[in-house]
A and B are shown apart, each in its own frame.
Chain A
């Protein structure tokens, strides 16, 4: 990434950090989205099980897309609508302008369509003399001020009522009171003639059904109903990935989309159009028409590219935006081009170019949360890593990212030269220099290095189990090895106390920073190396137990992905366990319940590191602490603490500063909670929470 590119991004981040009013509104919106989703899932039979169904349906329909598209087109035409397959944005623009000219139409009412935004359709239509009006309230506000959507579902969430009132004052030329009921009356009145007089109604489609040739349009406001029923000519612009096979598939999407976005099932209105209805009697059969434009614009290439294909599973629910930590602070104008948020990186890369996506992809801190909330379980974190990787091939990696990717080597050196290294880390002047030169934030309290390392100490460790019941291959990762060998040894003792034979297989650090910063060549190499080293153990019946959540996530989730689910990586993943979930199980199996309730009377606030959400969400550690008498409360905002692995260790806007802004809301919760201390299993979250809250932060093992 060139310096210039970085500077532009810095400026934008800086501006959002200085004026938090927009991001405060956005954060409220995101939280609402997450909360309502969670509440809806409580009442939905099967809970989150629908995600697997959506995933399967999308996999099947995209795999079969050429056939389904053909079937869809045949059925649409049978029902009397016309189909136009558009390769490029220019094709759509030309088709619409020609059609409007032929019909002598100059008034076009539009309901929300991200696909038309993708190709920036409004401007050229207006330049051709067509009066285009967005009728979804949020989109209309955005159109009137000539902005791009701030959020996928709530495009104008950053505009407060008084500002909106001003916008409509300008549009109507009449005074508008700055409260929502008054604004609504004005909007209804303003838009009514636009609906009634539209010659062309333009909609998107959330779904196309191959089986029946129907398109489904979802709205809450009902504007798409007006738009699709009044104008003589209806145009629907849809991405070709919206085609599903059956009515059942459509019903599934109609549920999954709003449940994920806003906890509704379904949106207030869903319009299933088959062909075009007449309006009233006596106009003759052909008076009204419907044109369905199926857009490619790079989708065929996406489908053919195994690294991009999953993007086509996106149903545009916006849930990933509701959870993405950095997008929540900087907003969709910075974290996005036209498509905002996590899916915005993927879709931008595919339809607006790698270069454009690369401009904001560094904002992704690879927390993995978007995948965990996505109804189609799209692996955005890895797709984004791929995008960063492709981008870096052209532009290289910025120095701070290189430093973080070399953290393992640095730690090795730091440990050997512990005294010197720690002196440097504790010396303000040297830290300032490091901040400036290599981008390690001077304001971070980084843990000191120790010598000997865990690995060296383990060599001298004699097995203390007489009749081992289980065999454990221990995976240690950077922190417990170089910074806190005591912690590693404590874990080993716990395992041994429960009759495990613990061995330390040869291993490298998990290498997650390679994924986070998009060096997939080295990520793959590390993954292959570790899998090769661990596979023989998995094969010999060893359970692999890891102490660091990100390392467990790497072994269980990332490596199989990086290694294309090969047999060895699957096997290693299947044998990988989180430490506490494993200890609990052993306690149950051996009947070896903890002897003392030594933590009785103590109350801890528990922090779930993001990567743990894909695993057991900390249930293992929480249960383990409770068995020892502790009172444990999970304290969470539903998103990240801001550290994002090593992201928050970096200096400046694209590091420490943004990281602290992300963490703010969580810090407040911890500070307000009545707890003795914070507990988390992640070594980096620990640094973040200690700095952000001023409270003590422990690893569960440190409490004994």
Chain B
């Protein structure tokens, strides 16, 4: 009976104070990303873990905005990424039930892009959304199998939050205060 419940990723992500944007195509995704960047009046944007095509398309539209992208030279880190106002990373898969974006990487520069920036955008394909939380296990096992050595998997379920003062929910204490998910697919 439980297996029948179909969770809606966007709804669950937004319950966690995230913002979900469903777009039909990569082109529309770029439009959406640019509109977020513009609305934040970003001067510097950091990209990681994204398909080359998408990087080029975003870069093209970032007139007058500094775009940081891979490869990141080790000696410039972490300071370089700390400069960025918006961080955008590609997402391996997402979990609908918990509103979770799952980012996987073998380079921690990627993690800094999604961790240090005040506004974060995760980009994923609609087909890569699994339904239940436990459905994530099989995907994780596949990913882990593909890597014999170092690998970091990060669950990101909304913006950084704390309730440490008077239990009042406050966003963005260390990490992004805003988290967006751009979901590509019809």
Contacts and interface: CB of A to CB of B under 8 A. Distances in A.
Interface stretch (A152-160, A587-595, A598-606, A628-636): A152-160
Contact of A274 (B2, B76, B111, B152): B152
B151 to A, nearest CB: 4
A268 B165 contact: no
A230 B78 contact: yes
Interface string A264-299: 111111111111111111110001100000000000
A164 B165 contact: yes
A141 B78 contact: no
Contacts of B144: 212, 214, 247, 274
* B105, B112, B150, B170, most chain A CB atoms within 10 A: B150
Contact of A161 (B5, B74, B148, B165): B165
Interface residues on A, range: 35 or more
B109 A279 contact: yes
A420 interface: no
Contacts of B51: none
Interface string A180-224: 110110011001100110000000000000001010000011110
A432 interface: no
Given A225-B115, A281-B74, A188 B174 contact: yes
A173 interface: no
Nearest to B5: A45
Interface string B48-77: 000000000000000000000011111111
Contacts of B23: none
A160 B76 CA distance: 40
A624 to B, nearest CB: 31
Interface stretch (A24-32, A361-369, A540-548): A24-32
Contacts of A187: 173
A181 B170 CA distance: 8
Given A160-B166, A268-B156, A272-B153, A230 B148 contact: no
Contacts, number: 205
B150 A79 contact: yes
A157 B168 CA distance: 10
Interface string A18-36: 0000000100110010000
B112 A229 contact: yes
Nearest to B105: A277
A188 B2 CA distance: 42
A220 B174 CA distance: 10
Contacts of B107: 277-281
B108 A278 contact: yes
Interface in B76-90: 76-79, 82
A532 interface: no
Contacts of B109: 279-280
A225 B98 contact: no
A195 B175 CA distance: 11
A181 B109 CA distance: 29
B97 interface: yes
Interface string B147-186: 1111111111111111111111010111110000000000
A274 B147 contact: yes
A78 B173 contact: no
Contacts of A287: 74
Contacts of A221: 160-162, 164, 173-175
B111 A225 contact: yes
A371 to B, nearest CB: 25
Nearest to B118: A188
Contact of B133 (A183, A225, A226, A265): A265
B174 A222 contact: yes
A229 B150 contact: no
A248 interface: yes
A118 to B, nearest CB: 21
Given A138-B164, A266-B100, A46 B108 contact: no
A38 interface: no
Contacts of B168: 180
B150 A29 contact: no
B115 A281 contact: no
A78 B153 contact: no
B172 A266 contact: no
Nearest to A246: B137
Contacts of B174: 135, 188, 191, 195, 221-223, 226
Nearest to A157: B167
Contact of B98 (A141, A226, A266): A266
Contacts of A29: 167
Interface of A: 25, 28-29, 32, 45-46, 78-80, 135-138, 141, 154-157, 159-161, 164, 180-181, 183-184, 187-188, 191-192, 195-196, 212, 214, 220-223, 225-226, 229-230, 247-248, 251-252, 254-255, 262, 264-283, 287-288
Which 6 residue pairs across A and B have the least CB separation, nearest first? A222-B175, A45-B2, A280-B74, A275-B150, A283-B74, A138-B164
16 contacts: A135-B174, A157-B167, A188-B173, A222-B115, A222-B174, A222-B175, A222-B176, A229-B112, A229-B115, A251-B137, A268-B16, A272-B152, A277-B106, A278-B74, A280-B71, A280-B73
Given A214-B144, A222-B174, 5 more contacts: A79-B148, A221-B164, A268-B156, A269-B156, A283-B74
